[in-house]
């Protein structure tokens, strides 16, 4: 049986209407979900920073120190869920790299860390960089840098944000942090960490003083508005 022209047109218009309604109703939801994911990412970053701040002074004894690169220690949210060591086969320069590899069903994250007195760097701008290679990383790999004074963190940054984190399987990739060391800084801590399944290799760490012309890498926090905005809905979409 053939359909009449009016039926075909009616059917087409109906399909377009359904598609339009679906688009209009799902678009806000997609934006809301995106904002939710961003909020969750920021919350995870804040939790990681807090755990690093708390655990960096509580170096774990559950990892055999003979497996660790000289001068490095282990910390993290659940450091025993990861293994650490040197890899003489995989390296970006020199003769070896350090690795962090997840054990089955890892919780939170594991980190390699070292610390030193801040005397030579107080009041200066410094840059920490490293080359990182990843394999099957399900969450993220990142480097971090912290300055302590009187037993608490007074400056901190990591590369865990959505635009800077490393995940999946990637070849050698450079990560860096540029941070100002406060004049009252007493100790500097730095390292790399892995969260989730997979393995990372870290090589070619550098730590250096740079000039004020080198921009800071910290991503500015979103400031809360002090006044209501767009009350007349005339400024378009976000």
CATH number at residue 106: 2.60.120.260
Inside any domain, residue 12: no
Inside any domain, residue 230: no
Inside any domain, residue 198: yes
**Cα–Cα distance measured from residue 8 to residue 37, given in angstroms and rounded to the nearest whole number:** 42
Inside any domain, residue 70: yes
Structural domain boundaries, residue 100: 42-210
Inside any domain, residue 218: no
Token pair of 43 as six digits? 């919350």
List the chain pLDDT tens, one digit each, 238 residues.
455 544 443 445 455 555 555 554 555 556 666 566 566 555 555 556 555 555 444 444 445 455 788 899 998 888 999 999 999 999 999 999 999 999 999 988 999 999 999 999 999 999 999 999 999 999 999 999 999 999 899 999 999 888 899 999 999 999 999 999 999 999 999 999 999 999 999 999 999 999 999 999 986 555 556 677 777 777 666 5
Nearest alpha-carbon partner for 203 in 102, 99, 110: 99
**Cα–Cα distance measured from residue 165 to residue 194, given in angstroms and rounded to the nearest whole number:** 10
Provide the number of structural domains found in the chain.
1
Inside any domain, residue 58: yes
Inside any domain, residue 219: no
**Cα–Cα distance measured from residue 76 to residue 190, given in angstroms and rounded to the nearest whole number:** 12
Inside any domain, residue 237: no
**Cα–Cα distance measured from residue 64 to residue 48, given in angstroms and rounded to the nearest whole number:** 24
């Amino acid at each position: 049986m053939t359909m009449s022209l009016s039926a075909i047109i009616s059917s087409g218009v109906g399909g377009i209407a359904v598609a339009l309604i679906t688009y209009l109703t799902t678009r806000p939801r997609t934006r809301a979900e995106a904002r939710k994911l961003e909020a969750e990412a920021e919350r995870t970053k804040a939790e990681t920073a807090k755990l690093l701040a708390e655990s960096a002074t509580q170096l774990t004894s559950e990892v055999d120190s003979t497996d660790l690169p000289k001068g490095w220690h282990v910390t993290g949210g659940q450091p025993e869920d990861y293994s650490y060591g040197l890899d003489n086969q995989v390296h970006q320069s020199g003769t070896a790299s350090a690795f962090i590899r997840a054990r089955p069903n890892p919780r939170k994250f594991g980190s390699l860390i070292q610390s030193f007195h801040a005397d030579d760097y107080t009041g200066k701008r410094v840059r920490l960089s490293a080359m990182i290679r990843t394999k099957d990383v399900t969450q993220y790999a990142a480097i971090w840098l912290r300055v302590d004074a009187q037993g608490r963190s007074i400056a901190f940054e990591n590369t865990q944000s959505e635009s800077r984190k490393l995940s999946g399987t990637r070849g050698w990739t450079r990560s860096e942090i540029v941070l100002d060391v406060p004049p009252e800084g007493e100790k500097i801590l730095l390292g790399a960490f892995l969260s989730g399944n997979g393995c990372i290799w870290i090589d070619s760490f550098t730590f250096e003083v740079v000039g004020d012309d080198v921009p800071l890498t910290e991503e500015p926090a979103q400031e809360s508005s002090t006044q209501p905005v767009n009350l007349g809905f005339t400024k378009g979409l976000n």
